[in-house]
Chain A
Amino acid sequence: MYDFEYLKPKALAEAASILAGDGDAKALAGGMTFIPVLKQRLNKPSKVVDLAALGLSGIKVSGETVEIGAMTTHATVAASADVKRAIPALAKLAGNIGDEAVRHRGTIGGSLANNDPSACYPAAVLAMGATIVTNKRRIEADNYFQGMFATALEQGEVITSVVFPVPAKAAYMKFANPASRYAMVGVFVAKGPKGTRVAVTGAGQNGVFRHKAMEEALAKNWSADAVAGVKTPADGLNSDIHASAEYRAHLVGVMAKRAVAAAG
């Protein structure tokens, strides 16, 4: 990696101000993507602002929402009895990200700020209609994801937590890329306060997206058969050495069907 200045502020305002004041400064959450990027010299930040001392981790469950602090690790979410009770699909999703080591470092805020097109969390956030809370505002999921590695976050804006409305039914099915184990296709289905929603990660050229045709089918008839009949066009889907766009389109259907069946 290139040399940079490492900072570990103790207050959110201080972190935000450093990041706002320097366009080349970067925030560090769990670092599970960022540190490999640095090691490969694909990024040359002036400062790396470690968010670990800001007190941003923790899980709060009320009757209607699950709020997860931005620096909460995947392992914590996966092991949380509260999350398992309120949104078991979310705990299960977190428990299948990366490997054990990654789950003990990687965070929900880091995953969402990075918005890797093959990450799992974006599918959960979009399908459940979660709210991204930052040091400046609250951003609805539908406005947050803006394409591959692109989000609504502004320079100096730091995610502090994510608020999930508790759905009546939800499930996530991931078809892992055989090599990287990222989602080659991941489908999150949810029926809850924000409606019946289906979000697809890993497949789209522009990152996570909502599958409107499946949502309509499920709104009429919440059943595996209902989504099984919906054809996903291959246009706009990724194609690589592991999966053609057509194969991904097919897998979207299979994963959606299995997710609905798992959601009950």
Chain B
Amino acid sequence: MNAPFEGIGASMKRKEDLRFISGHGHYVDDINRPGQLYAYIKRSDRAHAELRGIDTAAAKASAGVVAVYTSADLTGIGGLPCGWQIHNKDGSPMAEPAHPVLASGKVRHVGDPVAVVIAETKQQAKDAAEKLVVDYKDLPAVATVTDAVKPGAAQVHEGAAGNVCYDWEIGDKGAVDAAFAKAAKTVKLDLTNNRLIPNAMEPRAAIGEYDPTTGEHTLYTTSQNPHVIRLLMGAFVLQIPEHKLRVVAPDVGGGFGSKIYHYAEEAIVTWASGKLAQPVKWAAERNESFMSDAHGRDHVSTAELALAADGTFLALRVKTLCNMGAYLSTFAPAVPTYLYATLLAGVYKTPAIYAEVKAVFTNTVPVDAYRGAGRPEASFLLERLVDVAARDTGMDRVEIRRKNFIPKDAFPYQTPVALQYDSGDYVSTLDAAMKHADWAGFPARRAAAKAKGKLRGIGMSTYLEACGIAPSKVVGSLGARAGLYEVANIRVHPTGSVTVFTGTHSHGQGHETTMAQLVSDQLGVPFSQVEVVHGDTSKIPFGMGTYGSRSLAVGGSAMVKAMDKIITKGRKIAAHLLEAAVEDVEFKDGKFTVAGTDRSKTLSEIALTAYVPHNYPIEELEPGLDETAFYDPKNFTYPGGCHVCEVEIDAETGVVSVVNFTAVDDVGRVVNPMIVEGQVQGGVAQGIGQALLENAVYDQDGQLLSGSFMDYTMPRADNLPNIKVGTETTLCTHNPLGVKGCGEVGAIGSPPAVINAVVDALSDYGVRHLDMPASPQKIWSIIQGAPRMAAE
């Protein structure tokens, strides 16, 4: 009898979905601890002001109030740490201003926390917060990167002259300058990567609890990486040793990067619960999410490409201003440098690349990694530039790409910007995407659209990303203050079922399914007999969490390493039981067999023997079957592919509709095709959101104009086409599974494909470029302006 195939490559339905879709998910705000109090954070409504004093008397006297704290009360507490240090061109370290848990001396963005009120109910905490009298003296504010670097601009931090956090470079400037000097053609493009607000479905929340009898603190928090929070908050902010600090991240409703970082509210509830010896809960309201979750993107760049007469890329020069916001969030400095500029080679064999990145402070919410993190900014710049180069030089958009692709026999390929790609085949994904999208049939569809009064355009991006973050030694040399390995503990129970403890964290990705399939496949245990546990520092040895499409590539590889140890031990036990030499025992499909015989023992028989070691090599081998492994990746992984987008524009209103979207990605080995399809579709939805809809807008005084869903345009189902997803596989060469990662490809590959299609649709209007989002008003203005531009 053949068992149903449940292993690597099967589209198993997600184990976790029963509880999610039946309302049984267990999120932080579902947790209530005995005697719990409620915290409400009073936030600045000013972008930039001196904080001259806070009168807390009326608030403290308000009904139900237990405590009111301002920065003056937080004695002995450190500021929020930054996990990455970038160095300037001259070798000096970046400016790293203090990031107090509660604003001290000044407020620097709308939403900056100034005080916390803790009361018996949330209502009472809110009522009391209204009675706080905050004495502000307004200061001039600066909201955009271009304004921040102007002479005489308002200064966000005393320690960051000219608002510059760092002025960094990568690549060979001399080689690039030389190539430009002799190039047959050069192309230049100014572009903006719009600022985004992550808007995970579940707002952030945190509960602090303290047990005075043991001195142990517990923090329940909406985190993508509970061990990282334990490390950062314990060591740098509150000085609580690891053995007295447990961090639990239960079900988490989406993160997209915004729940990686250590936030002030986590430290506040942990500290206050210790001080008050009562649990303290804080849960963000949606408007707080808009003004306190780290935002994403926000680059202003100039890109230049030098080409030979035949269209061969000779050199790329990039200058980028990026927004850090008012304070450095946990990974912020790494995003526009090592997750952005190192990706500027893309899929092309451009021999010389030079990039300068200047990070600046503004009076806005801190900016950090958001789905794709740096790589969408790189792919947008590069794939727009390539389209513009084709247009300016009269070459075909597809041919210019083919001509410059790194060929599939050139791997490993060393780029001029630090990375070494291990594998890829960019022609295969391009060909497959063009075929699935019927690129060849587009002219007929354009003509049909024209007949009904619509402008139709098609565009593509051939992109690459680096994920599976990351080799510890490499990132350490680049400024990371942590290692980026991953940890797995595989526990085979006495009767042969398996619990997998992983340091990664699932907040929508389906790890409980994918990882169970992986373990089921490798150990030959039924899928239903494998349980994946994540999100609790008291259960899992250690871990760096989930971001940068790393969970399978790094976390899954750690599982393979732990399973190898299980199998190695199992072979020894089997050899004993079967009275054979260890080297003659093979493991396959859940069975230990003496080579060339039918004598075998199942894994569950071995497990039972390991826990009931009556007939057991007890002198040489410990009982039990429970192994832990740390896996440090040898390199990043390099997924890539081709996205093709087709749009129709209503020229009268400027509305852009995405009518077709095809994504063909190389994500390495696919464990669960259904989950990969869903991950890519979700990423593409966010990419279409960035390209057409989403925009975080501040006015010049630093007020957030898009501070709610009334004004911040989230993509909705009716904004999206049926997204076609395909995969073409080359295996990662340096991890045991050959996997590359699929969480971010959608958000990285899609925005330039959409804008390339929009520009193509507007080709009759002489449009060379437009920045995101391609809103109806923007498209209408371009169409209105076009005849006038033509007349000039």
Q: How many pairs, one residue from A and one from B, have CB atoms within 8 Å of each other in the complex?
A: 44
With a cutoff of 8 Å between Cβ atoms, the chain B residues found around residue A180 in the complex are 709-711
User: Nearest Cβ in chain A — how far from B434, in angstroms?
Assistant: 31
B712 touches A243 (CB 8 A): no
Scan A3-31; emit 1 where CB is below 8 A from any B CB, else 0.
Answer: 10000000000000000000000000000
Say yes or no for B775: interface residue by CB 8 A criterion: yes
Instruction: A254 to B334: give the CA distance in the assembly, Å.
Output: 47
Option from B287, B713, B777 in Cβ contact (under 8 Å) with A243: B777
Q: List 23 A-B contacts (CB under 8 A).
A: A2-B127, A3-B123, A41-B126, A41-B130, A175-B653, A178-B775, A178-B776, A179-B693, A179-B709, A179-B711, A179-B713, A180-B709, A180-B711, A240-B711, A241-B695, A241-B697, A241-B705, A242-B775, A244-B777, A247-B654, A247-B776, A247-B781, A254-B652
Say yes or no for A251: interface residue by CB 8 A criterion: yes
With a cutoff of 8 Å between Cβ atoms, the chain A residues found around residue B693 in the complex are 178-179
Say yes or no for A104: interface residue by CB 8 A criterion: no
With a cutoff of 8 Å between Cβ atoms, the chain B residues found around residue A179 in the complex are 693, 706, 709-714
Measured CB to CB, the nearest residue on chain B to A1 is B123
Say yes or no for B780: interface residue by CB 8 A criterion: yes
B705 touches A251 (CB 8 A): no
Max count, chain A CB within 10 A of own CB: residue among B127, B654, B706, B777:
B777
Option from B287, B714, B777, B781 in Cβ contact (under 8 Å) with A242: B777
Closest 8 CB pairs of A and B: A179-B713, A180-B710, A178-B713, A254-B652, A247-B777, A241-B697, A179-B711, A243-B777
With a cutoff of 8 Å between Cβ atoms, the chain A residues found around residue B654 in the complex are 247
| Given A178-B775, A247-B781: A241 and B653 interface contact (C-beta under 8 Å) | no
Binding site for B on A (CB under 8 A): 2-3, 40-41, 175, 178-180, 182, 240-244, 247, 250-251, 254
Scan B705-723; emit 1 where CB is below 8 A from any A CB, else 0.
Answer: 1100111111000000000
Option from B130, B287, B709, B711 in Cβ contact (under 8 Å) with A241: B711
Given A178-B775, A241-B697, A254-B652; 20 other pairs, CB 8 A cutoff: A2-B127, A3-B123, A41-B130, A175-B776, A179-B712, A179-B713, A179-B714, A180-B709, A180-B710, A240-B711, A241-B695, A241-B705, A241-B706, A241-B711, A242-B775, A243-B777, A244-B777, A247-B654, A247-B781, A254-B653
Instruction: A242 to B706: give the CA distance in the assembly, Å.
Output: 10
With a cutoff of 8 Å between Cβ atoms, the chain B residues found around residue A250 in the complex are 780
User: Nearest Cβ in chain A — how far from B772, in angstroms?
Assistant: 13
User: Nearest Cβ in chain B — how far from A30, in angstroms?
Assistant: 18
Measured CB to CB, the nearest residue on chain B to A180 is B710
User: Nearest Cβ in chain B — how far from A33, in angstroms?
Assistant: 11
Instruction: A180 to B780: give the CA distance in the assembly, Å.
Output: 20
Option from A2, A41, A175, A242 in Cβ contact (under 8 Å) with B711: A242
B residues 742-792 in Cβ contact with A at 8 Å: 775-777, 780-781
Binding site for A on B (CB under 8 A): 123, 126-127, 130, 287, 652-654, 693, 695, 697, 705-706, 709-714, 775-777, 780-781
A247 touches B710 (CB 8 A): no
| Given A241-B706, A242-B777: A251 and B712 interface contact (C-beta under 8 Å) | no
Max count, chain B CB within 10 A of own CB: residue among A3, A40, A178:
A178
Measured CB to CB, the nearest residue on chain A to B706 is A241
- Interface SS of chain B: helix, strand, loop or mixed? loop
Measured CB to CB, the nearest residue on chain B to A247 is B777
Instruction: A262 to B653: give the CA distance in the assembly, Å.
Output: 17
B713 touches A251 (CB 8 A): no
With a cutoff of 8 Å between Cβ atoms, the chain B residues found around residue A240 in the complex are 711
With a cutoff of 8 Å between Cβ atoms, the chain A residues found around residue B706 in the complex are 179, 241
User: Nearest Cβ in chain A — how far from B286, in angstroms?
Assistant: 10
Instruction: A242 to B775: give the CA distance in the assembly, Å.
Output: 8
With a cutoff of 8 Å between Cβ atoms, the chain A residues found around residue B287 in the complex are 40
Measured CB to CB, the nearest residue on chain A to B705 is A241
Instruction: A18 to B560: give the CA distance in the assembly, Å.
Output: 71
Instruction: A242 to B776: give the CA distance in the assembly, Å.
Output: 8
With a cutoff of 8 Å between Cβ atoms, the chain A residues found around residue B697 in the complex are 241
With a cutoff of 8 Å between Cβ atoms, the chain B residues found around residue A175 in the complex are 653, 776
With a cutoff of 8 Å between Cβ atoms, the chain A residues found around residue B776 in the complex are 175, 178, 243, 247
User: Nearest Cβ in chain B — how far from A18, in angstroms?
Assistant: 24
User: Nearest Cβ in chain B — how far from A135, in angstroms?
Assistant: 33
With a cutoff of 8 Å between Cβ atoms, the chain A residues found around residue B777 in the complex are 242-244, 247
With a cutoff of 8 Å between Cβ atoms, the chain A residues found around residue B712 in the complex are 179
With a cutoff of 8 Å between Cβ atoms, the chain B residues found around residue A242 in the complex are 711, 775, 777
Instruction: A247 to B778: give the CA distance in the assembly, Å.
Output: 10
User: Nearest Cβ in chain A — how far from B665, in angstroms?
Assistant: 28
Instruction: A2 to B123: give the CA distance in the assembly, Å.
Output: 8
Instruction: A50 to B703: give the CA distance in the assembly, Å.
Output: 36
User: Nearest Cβ in chain B — how far from A233, in angstroms?
Assistant: 16
User: Nearest Cβ in chain B — how far from A104, in angstroms?
Assistant: 18
Measured CB to CB, the nearest residue on chain A to B126 is A41
User: Nearest Cβ in chain B — how far from A167, in angstroms?
Assistant: 26
Instruction: A247 to B775: give the CA distance in the assembly, Å.
Output: 12
Max count, chain B CB within 10 A of own CB: residue among A179, A180, A182, A251:
A179
Instruction: A139 to B672: give the CA distance in the assembly, Å.
Output: 63
Max count, chain B CB within 10 A of own CB: residue among A2, A175, A242, A243:
A242
Instruction: A255 to B713: give the CA distance in the assembly, Å.
Output: 22
Measured CB to CB, the nearest residue on chain A to B699 is A241
With a cutoff of 8 Å between Cβ atoms, the chain B residues found around residue A254 in the complex are 652-653
B709 touches A251 (CB 8 A): no
User: Nearest Cβ in chain B — how far from A245, in angstroms?
Assistant: 11
Instruction: A247 to B780: give the CA distance in the assembly, Å.
Output: 8
Measured CB to CB, the nearest residue on chain B to A99 is B716
User: Nearest Cβ in chain A — how far from B618, in angstroms?
Assistant: 65
User: Nearest Cβ in chain A — how far from B640, in angstroms?
Assistant: 31
User: Nearest Cβ in chain B — how far from A186, in angstroms?
Assistant: 13
